[in-house]
Structure 1
Amino acid sequence: MDKIIFDKQQLQFISETISCSSFTYKNWGDDSLLDLRCYIRNYYRDLQQGECAFCKNDLSIVAVGNAHVEHIVPKSIYPKFMFEPKNLCVICADCNQIKRDQEVTRNIPNTLKKPYVKYPRSSKPFLIVHPHFDVWDDYLVKFNGFYVGKDDHKDRKGSFTIYACGLNRKLAKFGYEKEIYSDDDLMEAARQLIESDNLITKLNALTNLKKIINNE
């Protein structure tokens, strides 16, 4: 994923902001940073094609309520990385709330394996699936709304991301019900798609095929 590029004026503003002795990570939501947050949000929302970087659910395309700027390495643990372009992405309201609650209670997981003076430039130092360095599908799979980590990787990034972002929050609240589809269901949907002359029937058959193939 391409990192955001700040212009000269934005870089000067960031420099002046972090040089202020009273500025801490808790000031991230200040009105003075509103324009910068908006710029970051719009950039990554477009780059991520409207998907949350962690759960891959839809972001709001226009409103800000379901598109929050995220610090991949927590700003409360590493405030020096608060404006680092590769530490920024956009996440949904639920992922944001879970991580915010962790930050407030000081239980937020550290996403780095060890302390770093400079921001890492590769995937290896991170415990979490990093939007800039990792391919999400290499570490996670979403099945019927349930997230599973592909833990054939030694670093178990998939499982850590599920834990850190509470990805299985729907499962925890409502439980898991798998809708079973048989081969007969698949053949019938395919038959209707191919043989029917009715447009509505074809559309319904196509929808059913997608559900069966995607295990929805």
Structure 2
Amino acid sequence: MLFEAILFDCDGVLVDSEHITNRALHTMLNASGWAISEAECLQIFIGKTVRSETERIERETGQPLTDAWMAAFYALRDQGLHAHLQAIPGAVAAVQQCHALLGGKIAVASGADKAKVLMQLDKVGLLPLFDPHIFSGHDLPRTKPFPDVYLAAAASLQRDPHHCLVIEDALPGLQAGLAAGATVWGYCPWEGGHTTPEALLAAGAQRVLRDMAELPGLLRH
């Protein structure tokens, strides 16, 4: 095997959640006075926490980013996720095979809040394969693009990050994986709305998967 463990991002890699979350954020920002398109919203926030763009949100809306606003956003987001969330095509079978190939040495390292990550994994049937190796950047001193969440995931599996593979679809997460010392492979399906393969490769991904079903076979080469 090429790697001793695999550390997966969640949103956009395991679950097709990016557009659902973005739609809720777009709705909230427009209601608050920021006339932003869905495409621009996705471009700005993909791979980031909402609070990481607090200064920009407050400048564009003219209002403080309050805990109450965040709670309303989370409620609208979670309503959409409960109604529409699906696994990334091929991801469930790929994770099952990777779990078997690596003796369970797989983890999730997400920049999203842990409650969301757990809910999403449970909804698509992946929670038992990862539990308890599920980590959120919200629970650590720094979130992506810093390496903390990937370092925590590797430590939980008792593996050196340099022997781990990270699967990421966004640049902040890719940067976090590289900063942790891991090898990073990008994921970008053929449809739009994701960071392009060219951008992922330019940022340091060793390869880009266009289909999650490719992953188990590539681990043997």
TM-score scaled by length of structure 2: 0.31
Question: Larger helix proportion, structure 1 or 2?
Answer: 2
Question: Considering only CA atoms, is the larger Rg found in Structure 1 or Structure 2?
Answer: 1
